[in-house]
Structure 1
Amino acid sequence: MTDDSLVSLTLPTLQRGHAPQLTDVPVQSNFQKPYSNDTVLIIDWDGPNDSQNPKNWSLKRKWAATAIVASFSFMGPVSSSMIAPATGQVASTFGIDNDVINALTTSIFVLAFAFGPLFVGPMSELYGRSRVLQVANLWYLAWNFGCGFAQTESQLLAFRFLAGMGGGAPTSVGGGLLSDCWRPEERGKAFALYSLAPLLGASVGPITGAWVAERSSWRWVFWSTSIADAVVQILGVFFLRETYAPILLERKAERIRRSMDAEKVSYGEIRTVFDGQDRSKVFLQFHWHTIMAKALIRPFALFFCEPIVQVLGVYMAYLYGSHYLILTTIPSIFQGVYQQSVGITGLHYIALGIGLVGASCSNASILDKVYLYLKSKKGGVGKPEFRLPPMFPGTLVFMIGCLILGWAAQAHAHWIVPDIGIMLVGAGITLNIQSIHTYIVDCFTLHAASALAAACCLRSLAGFGFPLFAPAMYSALGFGKGDTILAVTAFVLGCPAPWILWRYGERIRNSSRYAQP
């Protein structure tokens, strides 16, 4: 049974110890009270149109949740890259003369992105999406605000790392929350917005950071993002509701238990349809440590045992690392080659933003249209593999963008030419990452948060590491050869991945422990 086809059911006379299966259960329209202590009552949605099921929420409510999650996803990457134009001020304040340490003030935040979701994602599958997401954001808000008060480089690096642990939560929890709300044929637009937010945030950050640093000081880079995030946090408290089906049904079961206790009637066991996922009340009370261990291990199990997560995780890591590499080399191109000021250099990030937003807007409708078209060709049966086609043009566009950017900068062409390359790089990254996100969520619906955490761990490590070797690579090879290497590597990784999963993805999913059938 998948989370997209839940039905309301009651079990008047199921024996204890019998595993509940849909084939065992007569569907009933009215609730019947059990009369034996041996009775097991299975709690589910009240039919396919139950308004409490997040998939049956109104479009207004779904889009409100999507917008808030996208806002959370936007804020962390803004903080990760906004300090990049001000690293010179930071180095001057603390007397940093090491280029690696200087780059680390930016990238250490992204390093924390790799580890935070590994804990936060599984937690959302135990305690619910909304609660975990908001607590993690409060953690990020507190430490990001503290970065503005750092008195030494060690304090700044420590505060940045701790802030990143919370700021990375939406990369895993957000995808799970959207999978709870949207049916497969509806997810394209929602995931386009959700996937765009962190990429756009990383691009917008340097634009605003350059002007904030130029007009005030680097400390206001952190304080301004904290003020903006506080507004998002307040909106989340009032408008973001729980969406995780096991949590919602457990609350429903608890209301029924209290009602039965109040009537002083003897009943048997009351469970939800998700008790097979280690959510039974007794097990939660007495074996919470076992549940916690299994939940925390799940992202690692997914990464090491699931070929889907491995193949797409590696390619997404490469794209994300390239994204941060481009972000950190834009200043060296436009300040070093074109002799432009810090503020004007920051405006070139707009080209990246145009590529990200333009590709996202076009891909938002294409994802769902392609899915529905291929679904109709297969007799009305949808498959996660129908999310893969945009990856092919996405890889090609990314390669072309890298070549234009590198060789235009190498030849000192007019500044608009490298901007065109940057725009194409952003478009290619967006097309690929949106397809990867929706494919992983469609495959691992119930455990989408853990699957995304596993994939995003490697992605964030690449985002941390790529900018560290960028100065040495471009110094030795130049921008032309350096970006050619990026393009060729994208071809080697990006072309086989969607083809392999298109051809063998269904067979891999059928043999998976975690993938939805």
Structure 2
Amino acid sequence: MLEPVEAEFAKPPIYNDAQEEVFQSEETEEPNAITHAANNLTRVETREGRQASPTHSQSSTLQNNRVAAKLDDPEKGGYQKTADGKILVTFDVGEDPKEWTKFHKLATITASTLCLTVALGSAMPTGDLPGAAEGLHVSDEVIYLTITLFVAGFGIGPLFFAPLSELYGRQPVYMVSIIFYFFFTLPSCLAKNVATTLAGRMIAGIASSAPFTNVGGTIADVWAVQDRGIPMAIYSSTLFMGPCLGPLFGGWISLKTGTWRWIYWVLFITIGASCILCLFNPETLAPVLLRKKAKKLNKQHNTDAYTTEADLHRPSFRTAITTALIRPFVMMVEPIIILFTFYLSFVYALLYATFFAFPIAFEEIRGWNMGMTGVSFVSIIASFFILLRTEADSLPQIGIFLANVLIMPLQERLYRKYTAKHGSSPEGRLYTMMIGAIVLPPALFILAFTSYPGVSWVGPCICGIMFGFAMVSIYISGNSYIVDSYSNVAASAISSKNMIRSFVGASVPLWITQLFHNLGFQYAGLFLALVSVILMPIPFFFFWKGAWVRSKSDKANR
């Protein structure tokens, strides 16, 4: 194979046989023959399935000719003309987000850090809820509303943020969301009464909810279906890592500073850092990028002829909002959404249940302080590194020794094998969910029957590792399956799931302590374990019958 420098002077040009055939078939009498040939050549696939491209100097010349052709004759240059004379702008090579370099695509994963910041906000105050109740002179049940209202906001905000992101792009919505989250966390830092705290928490919860819906859309914007596993694993893990880090950070912050208010101040500073990071997150939504390109071309050529196909059929703002408010409720009757939402909501509720179950198991039963109780959540966090290691062997080797003990099939490798045999199908994403469904019930049984005063703390911590592993594996697969099954309406599908999940999670602080105190820790844990057993068949059913279920839906991918 010729080296790049030699290729510059190679004669004839180094095209493969298929490219040469296309090149020779062009009519050289046409002024734009080279442009036509270049356009066709870039579409010829190599044996590896990737598009072949000319050498650097040839590419530069052909690109200049292509641009000139598009300006003189849009149809010959690659753009299409509508009946009313409008020119439909399309992506040139490399402009489509799905054609970005791997490094550029990985930059979009920074959006997942916004999810981590939001998830921290939902859990850090649990580090010292009794202290906040005492400081604001209210009961424990009232102070629990600071968690309930914040999490409930996760279900309301996406109804508005999802359509706004489709109209104006991902980046502006991220920015507005995180800024409002930043400012409405401040009342909790300074509040003199509980009403101010609750109002600030509710608005902050609504404002901060955009990343939970839009990050899934961002991943779908830039990653091909077969490559979404790693980004979805990182995204889903942040949803759980934040809530587990929250009690750890919150407990020690309150213990070392002597006041619960510093929990909110540290959160306030963290959100501010996320605002700065958000500035560097690129726009990924294709229609918005094309709209910007059309606007630039119109300005350059002093015309309004350039437009996009999406803008030709662009709904009004009112129609878009109305559709976005209605579609998530329409999606709720989809069998996939119903069953997966029920399962994922249960898993999400279990996560918030641990915020109150672990303090009972370690503080009330074993007499630990709030800081050490927060450390117990490390057992859950450790499982995330197991999952990230096993999701793709290209990720850093964090926790690899644990992965070798609790190894599970490599999700991405199994998915590729599945698609090689059956074609691209969402069902290939369900391997880890099936494993998680099997691991979850034993984890809950262990938690229930090792929480006695005379039993070592090791038992609940082993449960934490198993529970975290099962929880994240279920959620990663579940999220991936929903996005792949409803890629055309992924934002609405995720919004529908998030709304129900958030309301279920928000309700947990209002009843979970009563459940454990009234039934007893062991019987309450047994009840949750039995529910997980009932839900266990869901991923197995969809693995075998998912294609049939999707074939009956007019919204799911066939």
Report the TM-score, using the length of structure 2 for normalisation: 0.80
- Which one of the candidate residues 211, 220, 227 is aligned to 1:179? 220
Residue 207 of structure 1 aligns with which residue? Answer: 248
Deviation at 1:149, TM superposition (A): 0.9
- Which one of the candidate residues 308, 312, 318 is aligned to 1:280? 312
Residue 315 of structure 1 aligns with which residue? Answer: 343
- Structure 2 vs 1, CA of residues 459 and 360 (structure 1 numbering), >3 Å: closer, same or farther? farther
Deviation at 1:106, TM superposition (A): 2.4
Residue 156 of structure 2 aligns with which residue? Answer: 115
Describe the superposition over 1:254-289 as per-residue Cα deviations: whole angstroms up to 9, x where unpaired. 334444544x9xx6xx5534x3xxx427x55xx332
Aligned residues: 469
Describe the superposition over 1:374-416 as per-residue Cα deviations: whole angstroms up to 9, x where unpaired. 01112xx211111112111101211111111110003631011
Residue 12 of structure 1 aligns with which residue? Answer: none
Deviation at 1:503, TM superposition (A): 3.1
> What does residue range 414-493 of structure 1 map to in structure 2 within 5 Å?
414-493=456-535
Report the 3-state secondary structure (helix = DSSP H, G, I; strand = E; otherwise coil) of the residue aligned with 1:409: coil
Residue 4 of structure 1 aligns with which residue? Answer: none
- Which one of the candidate residues 93, 98, 101 is aligned to 1:55? 98
Residue 415 of structure 2 aligns with which residue? Answer: 371
8 Å contact from structure 2 (residues 255, 371) kept in 1:
yes
- Which one of the candidate residues 318, 326, 339 is aligned to 1:297? 326
Q: How much identity, in percent, do the aligned residues show? A: 27
Deviation at 1:127, TM superposition (A): 1.4
8 Å contact from structure 1 (residues 124, 449) kept in 2:
no
Residue 387 of structure 1 aligns with which residue? Answer: 429
> What does residue range 318-329 of structure 1 map to in structure 2 within 5 Å?
318-329=346-357
User: C-alpha distance in 2, partners of 1:294/1:230?
Assistant: 33
Say yes or no: does 1:89 pair with 2:131: yes
- Which one of the candidate residues 355, 362, 380 is aligned to 2:390? 362
- Which one of the candidate residues 104, 110, 114 is aligned to 1:72? 114
8 Å contact from structure 1 (residues 87, 105) kept in 2:
no
Describe the superposition over 1:274-329 as per-residue Cα deviations: whole angstroms up to 9, x where unpaired. x3xxx427x55xx332232123322222223x222121111100000011001222
CA RMSD, 1 decimal:
2.2
Say yes or no: does 1:342 pair with 2:370: yes
8 Å contact from structure 1 (residues 122, 295) kept in 2:
yes
- Structure 2 vs 1, CA of residues 36 and 146 (structure 1 numbering), >3 Å: closer, same or farther? closer
Residue 159 of structure 1 aligns with which residue? Answer: 200
8 Å contact from structure 2 (residues 160, 321) kept in 1:
no
User: C-alpha distance in 2, partners of 1:280/1:38?
Assistant: 11
Deviation at 1:144, TM superposition (A): 1.1
- Structure 2 vs 1, CA of residues 199 and 36 (structure 1 numbering), >3 Å: closer, same or farther? closer
Deviation at 1:246, TM superposition (A): 1.6
Residue 10 of structure 1 aligns with which residue? Answer: none
Say yes or no: does 1:102 pair with 2:138: no
Residue 380 of structure 2 aligns with which residue? Answer: 352
Say yes or no: does 1:168 pair with 2:209: yes
Residue 173 of structure 2 aligns with which residue? Answer: 132
Describe the superposition over 1:232-273 as per-residue Cα deviations: whole angstroms up to 9, x where unpaired. 211211x211101121122223334444544x9xx6xx5534
8 Å contact from structure 1 (residues 43, 249) kept in 2:
yes
Report the 3-state secondary structure (helix = DSSP H, G, I; strand = E; otherwise coil) of the residue aligned with 1:455: helix
User: C-alpha distance in 2, partners of 1:393/1:243?
Assistant: 33
Residue 273 of structure 2 aligns with which residue? Answer: 231
User: C-alpha distance in 1, partners of 2:503/2:336?
Assistant: 19
Report the 3-state secondary structure (helix = DSSP H, G, I; strand = E; otherwise coil) of the residue aligned with 1:83: helix
User: C-alpha distance in 2, partners of 1:451/1:124?
Assistant: 15
- Structure 2 vs 1, CA of residues 356 and 467 (structure 1 numbering), >3 Å: closer, same or farther? farther
Task: Give the partner amino acid of 2:234.
Answer: L
Report the 3-state secondary structure (helix = DSSP H, G, I; strand = E; otherwise coil) of the residue aligned with 2:88: strand
Task: Give the partner amino acid of 2:370.
Answer: V
User: C-alpha distance in 2, partners of 1:490/1:43?
Assistant: 51
Say yes or no: does 1:330 pair with 2:358: yes
8 Å contact from structure 1 (residues 200, 357) kept in 2:
no
Report the TM-score, using the length of structure 1 for normalisation: 0.86
Report the 3-state secondary structure (helix = DSSP H, G, I; strand = E; otherwise coil) of the residue aligned with 2:103: helix
8 Å contact from structure 2 (residues 245, 377) kept in 1:
yes
Report the 3-state secondary structure (helix = DSSP H, G, I; strand = E; otherwise coil) of the residue aligned with 2:450: helix
User: C-alpha distance in 1, partners of 2:491/2:519?
Assistant: 40
Gaps of 5+ in 2: 1-42, 45-65, 76-80, 394-409
Deviation at 1:77, TM superposition (A): 1.3
Deviation at 1:463, TM superposition (A): 1.2
> What does residue range 492-503 of structure 1 map to in structure 2 within 5 Å?
492-495=534-537, 497-503=538-544
Task: Give the partner amino acid of 2:343.
Answer: Y
Describe the superposition over 1:29-83 as per-residue Cα deviations: whole angstroms up to 9, x where unpaired. 864336896445433323xxx21111111111211210x2111000111111111
Residue 19 of structure 1 aligns with which residue? Answer: none
User: C-alpha distance in 2, partners of 1:412/1:59?
Assistant: 53
Task: Give the partner amino acid of 1:371.
Answer: Y
8 Å contact from structure 2 (residues 251, 374) kept in 1:
yes
8 Å contact from structure 1 (residues 331, 345) kept in 2:
yes
Describe the superposition over 1:117-141 as per-residue Cα deviations: whole angstroms up to 9, x where unpaired. 2221222122111111121111111
Residue 249 of structure 1 aligns with which residue? Answer: 290
Describe the superposition over 1:70-102 as per-residue Cα deviations: whole angstroms up to 9, x where unpaired. 1100011111111112111111111113x3213
- Structure 2 vs 1, CA of residues 94 and 411 (structure 1 numbering), >3 Å: closer, same or farther? closer
Which range moved further: 357-366 or 170-179?
A: 357-366
User: C-alpha distance in 1, partners of 2:535/2:191?
Assistant: 41
